[in-house]
Amino acid sequence: MTFGHALAGALVLMLAGCGAASPAAVPDAGASALRPEVLAVLPHDPTAFTQGFEIADGGLYEGTGLAGKSQLREVDPATGAVRRSVPLPERLFGEGITVVGDRIWQLTWRDNVVLEWDRTNFTLLRRLPLADEGWGLCHDGSRLVRSDGSDQLHFQDPTTFADMGSVAVTLNGQPVTELNELECTDGQVWANVWQTDRIVRIDPATGHVTAVVDAAGLLNPAQRANADVLNGIAALGDGEYLITGKNWPSMFRVRFVPA
């Protein structure tokens, strides 16, 4: 079997079970197969049900989920220590977060509300209506990008949260669904695919998946037994990222390299 056939076969298996693409699909000619090259392993609070994950001004901001347990946190990215935190009101189920200047937007899952926080003191400033589910959120510099578990990326105004359109995400012409935690960087959107060890890179102008990352095997079997799914990607700059998961004991500083 040639390397090319082996790679294609591996990608078929990797993409099977993602309600997004047909089992026979492999990346388009322009889509890369990537893996994480681990540069460092850092501590992460294993009680954190990670929903949002983003670096800003040297701080790691993390949104956690579950009704009655959801928080907004600032975390030391080097040690994983929680510098400060605030619980979400009224047992709201927290989801993705993103930093916009001195504010932080935080989604809720099925509570039909989005929260705006003051980043300086973690004071809740506004609650705005959200018509559908909230999953992942990031800021591309001019718009918020939001996922809702479907194949759609929604664009929102970063000041008012008003709708600014959407794009359907596809791989080989097939919809990619269950897009979860998001990271906007370098004009692209990275998205965790829920219930998998995959991360996809999306061109937000077209919705086309331009790379598929297989991030399986980061945790050893003992760690995996007590952890939930991969979920959390934060750009560090210079092509490096922090990735983690729900209830993971570690964060991984990585580069994405050819598989």
- Tens of pLDDT, residue by residue over 32-61, are 999 999 999 999 999 999 999 999 999 999
Q: What sign for the dihedral angle of Cα 125, 127, 130, 133?
A: positive
pLDDT value of residue 143: 97
pLDDT in tens, 55-83: 999 999 999 999 999 999 999 999 999 99
> What is the CATH topology of the domain spanning 3-258?
Neuraminidase (2.120.10)
Structure tokens at 237: 């700059």
pLDDT at position 14 over 60 = no
Residue 4 has pLDDT above 90, yes or no: no
Q: Which two tokens stand for residue 238?
A: 């210079």
pTM of the model: 0.88
Residue scoring higher pLDDT (25 or 163): 163
Residue 28: per-residue pLDDT: 52
Q: Is the pLDDT of residue 127 over 80?
A: yes
- Residue spans of the domains in the chain: they are 3-258
Contact 199, 184 (CB under 8 A): no
Asked whether residue 3 carries a pLDDT value surpassing 60, the answer given is no
% of the chain beyond a pLDDT of 90: 88
| pLDDT per residue as tens digits for the range 90-124 | 999 999 999 999 999 999 999 999 999 999 999 99
Q: Compute the distance between CA of residue 139 and CA of residue 20 in angstroms, rounded to an integer.
A: 24
* pLDDT at residue number 31: 85
Which pLDDT tens digit goes with each residue over 213-258?
A: 999 999 999 999 999 999 999 999 999 999 999 999 999 999 999 9
pLDDT value of position 29? 56
Which pLDDT score, from 0 to 100, does residue 89 have? 96
Lowest mean pLDDT among 4-8, 49-53, 191-195, 222-226: 4-8
Q: Which DSSP letter does residue 91 get?
A: G
Residue 30 reports pLDDT greater than 80: no
Residue 217: predicted pLDDT? 95
SS3 content of the chain, % helix, strand, coil (to 5): 10, 50, 40
User: Is the pLDDT at 13 greater than 50, yes or no?
Assistant: no
- In angstroms, the CA 176 to CA 9 distance is 19
Q: How confident is the model at residue 6 (pLDDT cuts 50, 70, 90)?
A: very low
